[in-house]
Structure 1
Amino acid sequence: MRAVAAGVIKHENGPKLRAWRDTITREALRIGGSDWTPIDGPVRLHVALTVPAPSRVNISAVEPIEHGMVPRCAPMTTPDVDKLLRAVQDALSPRDDRKAGETTKLRARRFKLLTDDCRIVDSLAAKTYPCPGHTHPWALPWPGAVIRISSLDVDTPPFPNSTLRRPDAFPPEVGELRDAVGLRRAAV
């Protein structure tokens, strides 16, 4: 956020942030379907955020490697993981920012997975670089996010930890979704 005038604050990356939120909304709609009823109860949110790999890495964050292995580097760069998580949460329940008497804006008609992001009462997030130098098992081969939402009463597998050692394999139960997104990305 950046102050541009007295009492006026703007997102420094406003257009990029809106595009990121729109992508999350579009994928949620694709998976949830147009007849989705927004969740209005307590939920758990797990997010693995794959951020673009830098051209140079911080040597202090690199795991020493054996011959033939891919080096792993922790993504200790901006943006902070909490800011990325907040953008995901906002995308899952876009607000209607209309003023009284104003016409309906496009964002007021956007898909909502949750009635409000305050329904998220338990969340974990991890930030990683793309495969193969990733530090989290849910890393994608491109920048993006793997998002798991569940009711608070539903037992879910634990959210995996990040590691500088070789992470576990990508979960097969969401591999088909990852592959479908990859095909759509290749078609663009």
Structure 2
Amino acid sequence: MSDAIQMFVPGEPTPEGSTKAYIVGGKPVISHVNSAKLETWRDTITLLTTTLARKAGWKIPLDEPVKIYVKFLLQPPARPRFSTPAVKPDLDKLQRAVGDGLCPKGGGGVLKDDSRIIEWHAWKQYAERHGQTGALIRIEKMKVKADV
């Protein structure tokens, strides 16, 4: 059994939506702005990571500390302002979407809870011109002693 799995998730990396709060009839209302594209992206992450984790012999959902590496490959614009994607989408929102894909509401993901992620290494990069967009994700089990 391997202590790490790695996979490429094809598609357009989609950031987590925003939370908006406002008052209606004197009462606070909180809404989450998520797109259908985000749901598809998260579902793809869930499917691919759980499939690979099972093939690697992992008992899922994992209830132990993990380290996550993720490289987001984004479509470059026709005339990029920078040689690296120092533009939207925000890296932290892309990470949140991956975390939610690893631990979806209602269960069924690789992780029991996304609080099990104790270390993140994430970066954005442009895909080669006309290359595949997506995310290269690596999940490593951490070798730590249980609390006594």
Identity value in percent: 35
Match for 1:28 among 36, 40, 49? Answer: 49
Give the distance between the partners of 2:59 and 2:45, measured in 1 at CA. 15
Residue correspondences, number: 120
In structure 2, what residue type is equivalent to 1:40?
A: D
Give the distance between the partners of 1:19 and 1:4, measured in 2 at CA. 25
Give the distance between the partners of 1:119 and 1:4, measured in 2 at CA. 28
Residues 81-139 of structure 1 deviation map (CA, whole Å, 9 limit, x = unaligned): 1110111011000122xxxxxxxxxxx5xx31000000000111010111269xxxxxx
Give the distance between the partners of 1:30 and 1:2, measured in 2 at CA. 31
Question: Aligned-pair distance for 1:77?
Answer: 1.3
User: What's 2:132 paired with?
Assistant: 142
Question: If you compute each CA radius of gyration, which structure gives the higher value, 1 or 2?
Answer: 1
User: What's 2:30 paired with?
Assistant: 8
In structure 2, what residue type is equivalent to 1:17?
A: L
Question: Aligned-pair distance for 1:5?
Answer: 5.2
Change (3 A) 1:120 1:80: same
Give 3-state SS (helix, strand or coil) of 1:142's partner.
Answer: coil
- Give the TM-score normalised by structure 1: 0.57
Bigger proportion of residues as helix: 1
User: What's 1:119 paired with?
Assistant: 116
Question: Aligned-pair distance for 1:33?
Answer: 3.2
Q: How does 1:37-186 map to 2 (within 5 A)?
A: 37-58=60-81, 61=82, 73-96=83-106, 108=107, 111-131=108-128, 141-153=131-143
Runs of 4+ in 1 over 2 A off after TM superposition: 2-6, 32-36
Bigger proportion of residues as strand: 2
Greater relative CO, 1 or 2 (CA 8 Å, sep 6+): 2
Q: Tell me, which stretches of 5 or more residues in structure 2 are unaligned?
A: 1-17, 24-28
Change (3 A) 1:86 1:2: closer
User: What's 2:8 paired with?
Assistant: none
CA RMSD, 1 decimal? 2.3
